[in-house]
């Protein structure tokens, strides 16, 4: 297996990205009102209509609330749509050939995360994963999904598990609550479909030691009162190794969902922490999983504190250790998809990440993150900001010894 500890040098020398998030598509077979991605503007729209967001103060973050110009999404039903909506192929998505070229310009990765949209709507997801596996040897490959396409997901995941045997393959299924709550947020019938996928994937666990199955729940004002219930429910799914609770973020179509109660978030993270420490909740099987569990505990506490203090609490390595690639080739340091954070586009730079990072715009973005104290609550970036910051190690060790 590719050890996560190969990247230890990056603790001292943050010279190359170890964490790449690839948004494979904007297409989705659901329309969830807490999703931030469909409203992201294309690079052609970058630089227009600036309105400041509430979630950062240092970098000149801005967003655009006028989503009316963004085709092809139908109006959002309250709480999402469970029926499979027709999903046209999106023009302009990076092709396999382009992905092959751009992945060759990037070194070894600790963490490769796919995102979207529903990533399994890309018919070539197995080939895409193979390309990154061959060239970048990621220790961990994360595939999040709403879990609606049971047969497609199971077949494709098995193909990925077979081919990418030296990487840990993590599939995260989205569950927003028990059946009634989940369906009210994602659409009628979606809970049962996702559970069907869980049972189908669970059968693969014994045959593939590199396979990890997890659940992700988005914490929002809609389900914040039902968190105990969902944590309890997930704890009874015996093949689930981790349950992550991600705080709602970004420009979502129903802004009221962001009116979360900080105290309820704190209660939730305390429960997750105590379950880990009392061994009620399992951890991943891969080498370093205990460290990851300790980091999860610290990360949630820092997110809670960031919500209260509304400032950057620890340095952010986005742009240096993390990069985000969109389905049309835009490169960002993180998932703050605002014009000022765009570092460039791989199509303009010969599919070469190094060239993107060397341009003046990218340097300005990184300088701005380091010096202007921008902040957010996004879990993925806390992960690298904790694991690659030696100042966090005494606290990390303390948690490590308790999980
Ligand atoms: S990940 Fe870092 S750079 Fe991006 S918004 Fe959050 S604090 Fe700023």
| Lining residues, ligand 1, CB within 6 Å | 56, 312, 316, 318, 333-334, 336, 369, 374-376, 378, 381
- How many residues in the chain? 403
b/e map 360-397, b = 16+ CB within 10 Å = eebeebbebbbeebbbbbbbbbbbbbbbbbeebeeebe
Nearest ligand 1 atom to alpha carbon 369: 3
Nearest ligand 1 atom to alpha carbon 335: 4
Residues 290-313 have pLDDT tens digits of 999 999 999 999 999 999 999 999
If one residue of 251, 373, 375 were mutated to test the ligand 1 pocket, choosing by the most ligand atoms within 8 A of its CB, it would be 375
Is residue 216's pLDDT more than 80? yes
pTM comes to 0.88
If one residue of 374, 377, 380, 385 were mutated to test the ligand 1 pocket, choosing by the most ligand atoms within 8 A of its CB, it would be 374
Q: To 10 degrees, the CA torsion angle through 81, 186, 30, 213?
A: -160
Q: What is residue 283's predicted lDDT score, i.e. its pLDDT?
A: 86
How remote is the CA of residue 316 from the centroid of ligand 1, in Å?
Answer: 6
Is residue 41's pLDDT more than 70? no
- pLDDT classification of 9: cutoffs 50, 70, 90: confident
Q: What is residue 344's predicted lDDT score, i.e. its pLDDT?
A: 97
Please tell me the residue having the least CA distance from ligand 1 atom 4: 334
More confident residue, 36 or 160: 160
Residues 71-102 have pLDDT tens digits of 333 333 334 444 444 455 577 999 999 999 99
Nearest ligand 1 atom to alpha carbon 312: 7
If one residue of 53, 336, 366 were mutated to test the ligand 1 pocket, choosing by the most ligand atoms within 8 A of its CB, it would be 336
Is residue 219's pLDDT more than 80? yes
Residues 310-358 have pLDDT tens digits of 999 999 999 999 999 999 999 999 999 999 999 999 999 999 999 999 9
Q: To 10 degrees, the CA torsion angle through 6, 11, 14, 18?
A: 40
How remote is the CA of residue 399 from the centroid of ligand 1, in Å?
Answer: 24
What DSSP string runs through 108-163? --SEEEEESS-GGGSTTHHHHHHHHHHHH--SEEEEEE----HHHHHHHHHHHHHH
Distances (CA, A) of 45 to 66, 116, 342: 12, 19, 12
More confident residue, 127 or 59: 127
CA distance 14 to 332: 17
How remote is the CA of residue 40 from the centroid of ligand 1, in Å?
Answer: 16
Is residue 140's pLDDT more than 70? yes
Please tell me the residue having the least CA distance from ligand 1 atom 6: 376
Q: Is the dihedral of CA 127, 28, 144, 321 positive or negative?
A: positive
Cis amide bond preceding 72, omega within 30: yes
User: Residue 313 is encoded by which pair of tokens?
Assistant: 């609490």
User: Residue 183 is encoded by which pair of tokens?
Assistant: 């369906």
Nearest ligand 1 atom to alpha carbon 380: 1
3-class DSSP assignment, residue 242: strand
How remote is the CA of residue 371 from the centroid of ligand 1, in Å?
Answer: 12
How remote is the CA of residue 378 from the centroid of ligand 1, in Å?
Answer: 8
Cis amide bond preceding 117, omega within 30: yes
Distances (CA, A) of 139 to 174, 396, 403: 23, 21, 22
How remote is the CA of residue 358 from the centroid of ligand 1, in Å?
Answer: 20
If one residue of 19, 376, 380 were mutated to test the ligand 1 pocket, choosing by the most ligand atoms within 8 A of its CB, it would be 376
Whether the Cβ atoms of residue 283 and residue 290 lie closer than 8 Å to each other: yes
Q: What is residue 337's predicted lDDT score, i.e. its pLDDT?
A: 92
% of the chain exceeding 70 in pLDDT: 87
Query: Which residues, including other chains, have CB under 8 Å from residue 398's CB and lie 6 or more apart?
Result: none
């Amino acid at each position: 297996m590719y050890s996560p500890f190969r990247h230890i040098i990056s603790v001292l020398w943050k010279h190359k990205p170890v964490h790449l998030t690839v948004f494979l598509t904007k297409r989705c077979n659901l329309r969830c009102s807490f999703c931030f991605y469909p409203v992201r503007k294309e690079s052609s729209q970058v630089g227009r209509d600036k309105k400041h967001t509430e979630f950062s103060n240092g970098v000149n973050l801005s967003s655009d609330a006028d989503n009316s110009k963004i085709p092809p999404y139908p109006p959002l039903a309250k709480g999402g749509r469970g029926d499979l909506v027709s999903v046209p192929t999106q023009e302009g998505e990076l092709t396999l050939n382009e992905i092959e070229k751009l992945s060759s310009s990037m070194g070894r990765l600790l963490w490769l995360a796919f995102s979207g949209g529903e990533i399994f709507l890309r018919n070539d997801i197995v080939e895409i994963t193979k390309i990154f596996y061959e060239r970048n040897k990621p220790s961990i490959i994360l595939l999040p999904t709403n879990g609606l396409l049971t047969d497609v997901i199971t077949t494709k995941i098995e193909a990925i598990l077979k081919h990418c045997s030296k990487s840990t393959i993590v599939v995260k299924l989205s569950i927003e609550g028990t059946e009634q709550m989940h369906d009210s947020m994602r659409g009628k019938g979606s809970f049962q479909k996702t559970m069907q996928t869980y049972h189908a994937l669970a059968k693969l666990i014994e045959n593939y030691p590199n396979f990890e199955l997890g659940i992700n729940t988005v914490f929002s004002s809609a389900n914040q009162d039902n968190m105990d219930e969902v944590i309890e429910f997930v704890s009874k799914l015996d093949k689930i190794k981790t349950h992550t609770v991600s705080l709602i973020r970004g420009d979502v179509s129903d802004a009221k969902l962001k009116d979360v109660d900080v105290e309820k978030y704190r209660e939730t993270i305390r429960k997750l922490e105590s379950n880990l420490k009392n061994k009620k909740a399992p951890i991943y099987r891969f080498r370093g999983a205990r460290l990851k569990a300790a980091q999860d505990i610290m990360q949630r506490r820092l997110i809670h504190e960031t919500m209260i203090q509304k400032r950057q609490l620890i340095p952010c390595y986005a742009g240096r250790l993390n990069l985000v690639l969109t389905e049309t080739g835009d490169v960002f340091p993180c998932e703050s998809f605002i014009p000022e954070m765009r570092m460039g586009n791989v199509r303009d730079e010969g599919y070469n990440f190094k060239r993107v990072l060397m341009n003046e715009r990218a340097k300005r973005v990184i300088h701005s993150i380091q010096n202007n104290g921008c902040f957010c609550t996004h879990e993925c970036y806390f992960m690298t900001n904790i694991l690659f910051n030696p100042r966090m190690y005494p606290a990390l060790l303390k948690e490590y010894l308790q999980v």
